[in-house]
Amino acid sequence: MDLLPKKITDKAVIENLIPQKAPFVMVDSLHAFSSEMITAGLTVTAENIFTQNNVFQEPGVIEHMAQSVALHTGYDFFLKKEQAPTGYIGAVKKITIERLPKVGDTLLTTVNILQEFMGITLVSISTECNGKVIAMGEMKTALA
């Protein structure tokens, strides 16, 4: 069941849902949300700290993936009217990046919650650009 009434594209709202602050924000939209998944977006800009020569670099793609996970936690706690705790990446597994996006491209990342136990979450992540999967992998996150 999708608990998101409509797509959220207000950057101020998104930034209030994650612990990262500018210039280190790598998500700018929330497209779908449920207790088991989230789809988050990012439009690549020339000003992004991970953009070099009009190409969004690997660390930016991975950080976008991680912040998509953080956005799930932040929005979940927002719905509960609670303050979201800080989270940390515990492990990054099996990350593959097939292609790097360019300035103007929009990333859509879907995070599926595989397992949650005592503040530790295992997720699978898939990032699309222009309708094609360009990155995928798994992460384990822990709440502080």
Let me know if residue 79 belongs to a domain.
yes
Closest residue by Cα to residue 74 from 26, 129, 132, 16: 16
Per-residue pLDDT reduced to its tens digit, 64-118: 999 999 999 999 999 999 988 888 888 998 899 999 999 999 999 999 999 999 8
Q: Tell me how far CA of residue 128 lies from CA of 16, 73, 88, 112, in angstroms.
A: 25, 21, 24, 14
- Averaged over 42-64, what is the pLDDT? 97
- Give the mean model confidence (pLDDT) for residues 27-52: 97
Q: Do residues 119 and 143 make contact, with C-beta atoms less than 8 angstroms apart?
A: yes
State the pLDDT at residue 3.
67
Quote the pLDDT of residue 61: 98
Q: According to DSSP H, which parts of the chain are helical?
A: 11-17, 58-79
What gap in Å lies between CA 116 and CA 31, rounded to an integer? 22
**Residue with structure tokens 């998944």?**
37
C-alpha closest to that of 41 among 26, 57, 24, 51: 26
What pLDDT shows up at residue 2? 62
Give me the mean pLDDT over the 116-125 stretch: 93
Q: What is the mean pLDDT of the chain?
A: 94
Is 81 among the domain residues?
Answer: yes
Contact, 33 vs 75, CB < 8 A?
yes
Instruction: Indicate the number of domains in the chain.
Output: 1
Please report whether residue 3 resides in a domain.
no
Do the domain assignments include residue 4? no
* Domain residue limits at 44: 11-143
Q: What is the pLDDT of residue 41?
A: 98
| Predicted pLDDT at 86 | 85
DSSP state of 11: H
- The pLDDT value given to residue 84: 85
CATH of the domain at 35: 3.10.129.10
